[in-house]
Copies of this chain bind each other. A is one copy, B any other.
Amino acid sequence: MAAQTILFDFTLDKDKTADEEARQQVAKILRNELEHLFPQLELAYSMESPENGYFAVLHENKDTVVTCRIFQHGLLTLNVEYFLPDGKEPLISFDAMRTVELILRQKFDSDRSKYLPPIKRGGYIDIYMTSSDERIIEYDIDKVVYEGRSPFQKIQIMHSKTLGNMLLLDELQNIAESDLIYTETLMCRGVENYEGKEICILGGGDGALLYELLKENPKHVVMLEIDELVMQTCNKYLSVICGDVLEKRKTDQYEIVVGDCVEYLKKFIGEGRKFDYVFGDLTDIPITDVPEGETWDFIRTIFEHSFKVLKPDGKYLTHGNGSTCKVQLRLFEEQLNLLRPKVKFTTTKAFVPSFMEEWLFYQVTFA
């Protein structure tokens, strides 16, 4: 079940939109052309204003509704909306829409126009996600593979035709089968040497980092993940990126502890246990302009405890945020700069397929 909204816009000469009479002319041309596409189109309502131009509602049997605005600055927007029952073909084909755009562009003598593919609204599967800098990205998701709720979060596995299975936590994209580059950039594969090293992963419930680290022959990896259901889900649906590491909870090479990582870090601090590498693979940086509130507190707490279990030459590796999120990245770095003893950091970045954007990663050491 979904409604379809199709958006067109046309840039017009300003003299075509400057006053009521000119706008009426344009509206008339528009109606004439739309009648070819919608033979029973009726004008239901229109309004005019010297400051805000022309607005009209047209419809065909109250089913397909077309709204049009002619802004006096030289812009016409056209929105077409109708209900598309499941399994039915769209009312208007892509070719027909392109043709409408081209014909209107010509009739309006417009030198710039745009049509967007239909926006599908109300569908059970949400195919529109938003990048970290608030851009719309439509995914080729064709199936909900799994949906569940743990005590901590909503867990979904969606299937994308090109990205494979995708893990969403609380409706945010986390990792997909396509995203080996994410794990490799987080761990700086080829740069860091993990052989014989002791490693602690905070979070990492999707298992991808553990799986890749074990290929590098470390001495031991301990992973502290709070959400049992995330691990069960990823074990079942994301084995392309996590192999079978989530099958067992303890081997000679690694141990997965189900629990609050802060509690376990405190325990390690008490025991004097130290690691060569600590990975922060927990929730994303909060997208907020002010470094306060629970999430930033949580991030600071994680930093503080992590550095207390790091060997003097150890490294803390973590993901940052979309590389266009300058403000949030600066706030993140400010948190790092508050740490005592002082730390210094480098960054790496990669275009992560399932995020459809470039992501930044941090490597932090004692200064």
**Chain A residues near B (Cβ < 8 Å):** 1-3, 5, 7, 9, 11, 44-45, 47-49, 51-52, 55, 57, 59, 61-63, 65, 67, 69, 71, 73-75, 77, 79, 81, 83, 85, 94, 112, 114, 116-117, 119, 121-122, 124, 126-128, 130-131, 133-140, 161-163, 178, 322-324, 351, 353, 356-358
Q: Is the CB of A324 within 8 A of B161?
A: yes
Q: Which residues of chain B come closer than 8 Å to A136, judged between CB atoms?
A: 116-117, 119, 136-138
User: Given A324-B161, A351-B353, are A7 and B114 neighbors across the interface (CB < 8 Å)?
Assistant: no
Q: Which residues of chain B come closer than 8 Å to A351, judged between CB atoms?
A: 162-163, 178, 353
Q: How far is the CA of A121 from the CA of B7 in the complex (A)?
A: 9
Q: Is the CB of A135 within 8 A of B121?
A: no
Q: Which residues of chain B come closer than 8 Å to A122, judged between CB atoms?
A: 9, 11, 71, 75, 77, 112, 114
Q: Is the CB of B44 within 8 A of A71?
A: no
Q: Which residues of chain B come closer than 8 Å to A3, judged between CB atoms?
A: 9, 69, 71, 75, 77
Q: How far is the CA of A80 from the CA of B310 in the complex (A)?
A: 52
Q: What residue of chain B has the Cβ atom nearest to residue A114's Cβ?
A: B126
Q: Which 4 A-B pairs have the closest CB atoms?
A: A135-B138, A49-B62, A162-B358, A45-B45
Q: How far is the CA of A100 from the CA of B207 in the complex (A)?
A: 37
User: Given A63-B52, A69-B3, are A112 and B124 neighbors across the interface (CB < 8 Å)?
Assistant: yes
Q: How far is the CA of A9 from the CA of B49 in the complex (A)?
A: 28
Q: Which residues of chain B come closer than 8 Å to A83, judged between CB atoms?
A: 52, 71, 73, 75
Q: What residue of chain B has the Cβ atom nearest to residue A138's Cβ?
A: B135
Q: Is the CB of B140 within 8 A of A128?
A: no
B2, B128, B163: which contacts A116 (Cβ < 8 A)? Answer: B128
Q: How far is the CA of A190 from the CA of B110 in the complex (A)?
A: 49
Q: Is the CB of A1 within 8 A of B44?
A: no
Q: How far is the CB of A133 from chain B (nearest CB, A)?
A: 6
Q: How far is the CA of A79 from the CA of B131 in the complex (A)?
A: 21
Q: Which residues of chain B come closer than 8 Å to A130, judged between CB atoms?
A: 116-117
**13 A-B pairs, CB-CB below 8 angstroms?**
A1-B73, A1-B75, A3-B77, A44-B45, A45-B45, A51-B61, A51-B63, A73-B83, A77-B122, A117-B136, A135-B139, A137-B137, A162-B351
Q: How far is the CA of A88 from the CA of B75 in the complex (A)?
A: 17
User: Given A52-B63, A67-B67, A69-B65, are A77 and B7 neighbors across the interface (CB < 8 Å)?
Assistant: no
Q: How far is the CA of A51 from the CA of B114 in the complex (A)?
A: 32
Q: Is the CB of B75 within 8 A of A47?
A: no
Q: What residue of chain B has the Cβ atom nearest to residue A162's Cβ?
A: B358
Q: What residue of chain B has the Cβ atom nearest to residue A55's Cβ?
A: B65
Q: How far is the CB of A298 from chain B (nearest CB, A)?
A: 21
Q: How far is the CA of A94 from the CA of B132 in the complex (A)?
A: 12
